[in-house]
Amino acid sequence: MTTATETLEPPRTSVGVLGWLKKNLFSTWYNTLLTFFMLWVIWAGGSALLSWVLTTARWEVITANARLFLVGAYPPDQVWRVWLVVVIVSLLFGLSGGVWGGTIRTFTMSLAVGYAALIALSFLVFPLSEGFVWLFANLVILLVTYALARDRKTWQRWMIPLWLLAFGVTIVLLHGFAKSEWLPEVSTTRWGGLLLTFMLSIVSIVMSFPLGVLLALGRRSKMPVVRLFCILYIELVRGVPLVTILYMTQIMLPLFLPGDVRIDNVVRAMAGMTLFAAAYLAENVRGGLQAIPEGQIEAALAVGLNNALVILFIVLPQALRMVIPAIVGLFIALFKDTTLVMIVGLVDLLGVGRSVLAQPEFMGLQIEVYIFIATIFFIFSYAMSFASYRLEQALGVGKR
């Protein structure tokens, strides 16, 4: 005879690795067959790919053109300026990880692991080269600044101004000054490779965010002129492909400017991508704004807050929190869309790859070059996706 205690006792299940395997991979006979089939596919495909990567592929096309892939036609004697920008970023990431902790600390440690992997790879391919020294210095700076700033909450108010200042310093360092011997001018037409890809994507992402938020608020404005302008802008830009915007900024815009006014090609590309991304981001933010209950707005107005404070402190934080996945997805797409600037004459990472394939000694190595470029885009796209996931966890998105 069973007692009440025995009746209420939950069924015992296997625990540990064997229990997980049995539950997820070998729970039924068809699940077991599917597991063995997929293991065979992974083994066959993975072993063939690994054999090609280690024995057949000619990776000298990458190692011989490493500088081109990184900075394009940037003057070799001025590449130290690019490395100095990386040092500044490492320093700020170390400080931010120590001061803010949480998700930022995870990113800081991930960056440290990435530096360590690049150092190991650089040592195998280019032992004790300039790149190896700079990478090692960045790793040391990242770890030291993280240790110095850890749990120093009083430094929090300085971090955002430092990041904004670093953005301006980066532009000055990379561009330089005319007739300067110490920091000579390097025209943006000589920026290329991964450097140009990063600059286009970072500037477009940073500048499109506030513009997109303003457009979303303007579309919901009670002023007819503002609302109509925002609606026309958003619908017009979203109705044409990005390549059309790039052609307009590169070819048609100079026709409307005075003869003595010339805007740099890279600046025009940044402006076109910013305007394009802002229209899509505005619609994402508008979706978040519409999800805010009207009762919260009425309650905030009832306690004496004006419309600006209600939007700034009540509505926008909740709306942006809701649409984090959509915004990050847009930023990832924008990062990959930087390859379109090749059509208007700019040499980004993909453009460098195509120019390298034109070298007589490396003709026919398309697979190696495009796999390398695809790997770079995958790494940074996955990093942004992972950052979005951690931010959603930290903010409790989707949880009540």
Claim to verify: residue 240 and residue 355 sit in the same structural domain: yes
Claim to verify: residue 91 and residue 223 sit in the same structural domain: no
Per the structure, how many domains does the chain have?
Answer: 2
Claim to verify: residue 227 and residue 330 sit in the same structural domain: yes
Claim to verify: residue 180 and residue 201 sit in the same structural domain: no
Separation between Cα atoms, residue 397 and residue 55, nearest integer Å: 46
**pLDDT of res. 117:** 78
Domain assignment present for 310: yes
Residue 88: what residue type?
A: I
Instruction: Assign 1 a pLDDT band (cuts: 50, 70, 90).
Output: very low
The tokens describing 281, both together, are 């981001």
**pLDDT of res. 125:** 63
**pLDDT of res. 241:** 92
**pLDDT of res. 210:** 93
Domain end position, chosen among 165, 186, 207: 186
Claim to verify: residue 80 and residue 202 sit in the same structural domain: no
Q: If you search the block for the tokens 């500048």, which residue do you land on?
A: 207
Claim to verify: residue 324 and residue 203 sit in the same structural domain: yes
**pLDDT of res. 321:** 87
- Smallest CA-to-CA distance from 339 within 196, 203, 204 is with 196
Q: What is the pTM of this model?
A: 0.84
- The better pLDDT of the pair 155, 176 is held by 176
Whether the Cβ atoms of residue 362 and residue 61 lie closer than 8 Å to each other: yes
Full domain range(s) for residue 87: 74-186
Residue-wise pLDDT for 385-394, tens only, equals 887 887 777 7
Whether the Cβ atoms of residue 121 and residue 59 lie closer than 8 Å to each other: no
Lowest mean pLDDT among 10-19, 43-52, 241-250, 348-357: 10-19
Which CATH number does the domain housing residue 206 bear? 1.10.3720.10
Separation between Cα atoms, residue 324 and residue 331, nearest integer Å: 11
Residue-wise pLDDT for 110-127, tens only, equals 788 878 877 877 776 666
Separation between Cα atoms, residue 22 and residue 35, nearest integer Å: 11
Domain assignment present for 237: yes
Claim to verify: residue 138 and residue 208 sit in the same structural domain: no
Q: For the chain, what is the radius of gyration of the CA atoms?
A: 26
- The better pLDDT of the pair 151, 27 is held by 27
Q: Report helix, strand or coil for 177.
A: strand
Q: What is the average pLDDT value for the chain, to the nearest integer?
A: 85
Q: Report helix, strand or coil for 348.
A: strand
What average pLDDT does this structure show over 145-150? 88
Residue-wise pLDDT for 163-200, tens only, equals 989 988 998 999 988 888 889 999 888 899 989 999 99
